[in-house]
Amino acid sequence: MEAWMRSTLKRCPLFRGLSNDRFDQISGLLSVGVHSFHAGSQVAFRGDAYEDLLIILSGYLNGEFRDYSGKVLKVETLHAPDTVASAVLFAPENVLPVDLVAVSDVDLISLSRRVVLTLFHKEEQILLNYLSDNGQKLTLLAEKLRFIQFSTIKEKIANYLLDLSKSQGTETPELRITKEKLAEVFGVTRPSLSRGFQQLCDAGVICQEGSLIRLLQRRELEFLVHKEEKQR
Amino acid sequence: MEAWMRSTLKRCPLFRGLSNDRFDQISGLLSVGVHSFHAGSQVAFRGDAYEDLLIILSGYLNGEFRDYSGKVLKVETLHAPDTVASAVLFAPENVLPVDLVAVSDVDLISLSRRVVLTLFHKEEQILLNYLSDNGQKLTLLAEKLRFIQFSTIKEKIANYLLDLSKSQGTETPELRITKEKLAEVFGVTRPSLSRGFQQLCDAGVICQEGSLIRLLQRRELEFLVHKEEKQR
């Protein structure tokens, strides 16, 4: 395996927490066949059998839905060295739930299910990483589903911040995911999300200090969430 | 462990495919502490730490979202002997993504993460069942997200049937999930779903023969999907 591949794979969430020695020991199991795709090309279709675990070596791709009229709903963006659709690999009908589209030029390697299972047996940390990744994906998808019911970005932000304040037990909760990730959960663009936050800051409803958000007018946030409900 | 518990657990998806002997050997690891909840009571809240795997011994519960205005969105219904939120158990922030509400009286047992990992090591089939369950949940959630974009039930059915026809490569695709499960994926009630199918049958667009659906007027189904797009 080439050095750049090895160092990329070492950073893959699947191998998080492994010592260099341990990684070197197990990396002999990893296939080195590389599949390359040009920017804009279709890596795989929703409904395709997903028999081997794909890991992105370079570039990034989108997981998205496209309906029969051509409308696209982006579900997530995956960057090197992420794994692709790991939860689906062992699903009873293991087919891709989304289309995979290369956004930049993309290089991928694939690991067979058998190799993945062997890795689990050789190193419990890899199994834990895999399960952790599945859990995170499911949580993000559930959140995305939850936020769809709030129609405007300010409503989504209001609900998210009230929620964060409750779970952290403070009026100054900390944003623990990046704004990129949050925009993805909300299903909006990053600039739109920033505008939403800025409008709430300008109105004196919240105040942002680094990753901390100070809830200055909680009632205003609650009003935003309730207003939506009344209009239905 | 009491006999009824043992026979219930034996049918749990987690232990699918295990021989009676093998199940008896590993069942000694399973805790027998039972948590009981009355119909209508809250089993757990979204955001609660999820430290132990819950398995439903009797009854059924809903996983649902409730926003600050009290609006409820049901995500799924789980029946004995299902596992609860298995994908979340090993998530980096292992908190429940949904509220759990007992619909009937419910009995649950819990397995610690350590015990679950021990089961994985003792029996690969249990690990495969667990991964399969995670994959199925993620797929259903992704489908639910996809179907939210279609506003009417007939549009959802049309998209689903066109999709099924494509993936099975036939104009007479087979419904491989129950109408109950399909209603859940669509986020509609079972009677509404049946009405939708019936209306399409009455209009001569489809014809149902057991689990087979004959697409009599494909163009009409495509029109339903496209109409929605045009109205946006």
Residue B96's nearest CA partner among A143, A184, A183, A13 is A143
pLDDT of residue B187: 81
Q: In this structure, are residues B61 and B43 in contact, taking their beta carbons and an 8 Å threshold?
A: yes
Contact A138 B137 (CB under 8 A): yes
Cis amide prior to B81 (ω within 30 degrees): yes
The radius of gyration computed from the CA coordinates of chain B, to the nearest angstrom, equals: 20
CA angle A116, A121, A123 (to 5 degrees): 90
Contact B69 A150 (CB under 8 A): no
* pLDDT tens digits for range A11-22: 999 999 999 999
pLDDT above 70: residue A230: no
pLDDT band at A231 (very low <50, low <70, confident <90, very high): very low
Residue B134's nearest CA partner among A138, A173, A20, A189 is A138
Give the residue from chain B lying closest to A98, CA to CA. Answer: B142
Which is higher by pLDDT, A10 or B230?
A10
Q: Which two tokens stand for residue B209?
A: 């023969």
Give the residue from chain A lying closest to B94, CA to CA. Answer: A135
What's domain A3-137's superfamily in CATH? Jelly Rolls (2.60.120.10)
Which chain A positions have a beta carbon within 8 Å of B91's beta carbon? 132, 134-136, 138-139
In chain B, domain spans: 3-140, 149-230
Q: How high is the mean pLDDT of chain A?
A: 89
pLDDT of residue A83: 95
Whether chain B has a CB inside 8 Å of the CB on A10: the answer is no
pLDDT above 50: residue A95: yes
Whether chain B has a CB inside 8 Å of the CB on A107: the answer is no
Cα distance between residue A32 and residue B156, in whole Å: 42
pLDDT of residue B231: 45
Contact B67 A94 (CB under 8 A): no
Assigned fold of B3-140? Jelly Rolls (2.60.120)
Which is higher by pLDDT, A232 or B102?
B102
**What is the average per-residue pLDDT within A198-210?**
93
Q: Which of A91, A137, A159 sits opposite B67 (nearest CB)?
A: A159
* pLDDT tens digits for range A123-145: 999 999 999 999 999 998 898 88
Which residue reads 């087919």 in tokens? A95
CA distance A67 to chain B (A): 8
Whether chain A has a CB inside 8 Å of the CB on B151: the answer is no
Q: Give Cα separations from A219 to A16, A162, A203, A206, A222 (angstroms).
A: 42, 10, 13, 11, 5
pLDDT of residue B230: 47
Contact B97 A228 (CB under 8 A): no
Which chain B positions have a beta carbon within 8 Å of A159's beta carbon? 67-68
* pLDDT tens digits for range A98-124: 999 999 999 999 999 999 999 999 999
Which chain B positions have a beta carbon within 8 Å of A162's beta carbon? 68
CATH of region B149-230, choose from 2.60.120.10, 3.40.50.300, 1.10.10.10, 3.30.930.10: 1.10.10.10
Q: In this structure, are residues A164 and A203 in contact, taking their beta carbons and an 8 Å threshold?
A: no
- Helical residues (DSSP H) of chain B, grouped into ranges: 3-10, 20-27, 113-122, 124-148, 153-168, 179-186, 190-202, 218-230
pLDDT above 70: residue A227: no
CA distance B2 to chain A (A): 31
Q: What is the ipTM of this complex?
A: 0.83
Whether chain B has a CB inside 8 Å of the CB on A198: the answer is no
Class of domain A148-231: mainly alpha
* pLDDT tens digits for range B108-162: 999 999 999 999 999 999 999 999 999 999 998 898 888 877 778 888 899 899 9
pLDDT band at A68 (very low <50, low <70, confident <90, very high): low
Contact A68 B222 (CB under 8 A): yes
Whether chain A has a CB inside 8 Å of the CB on B45: the answer is no
- Each residue's pLDDT tens digit in chain B (232 positions)? 788 888 999 999 999 999 999 999 898 888 778 999 999 999 999 989 999 999 999 999 999 988 766 778 888 899 999 999 999 999 988 899 999 999 999 999 999 999 999 999 999 999 999 999 999 999 988 988 888 777 788 888 998 999 899 888 999 999 988 888 888 888 888 899 999 999 999 999 999 998 999 999 999 998 888 765 544 3
CA distance A2 to chain B (A): 31
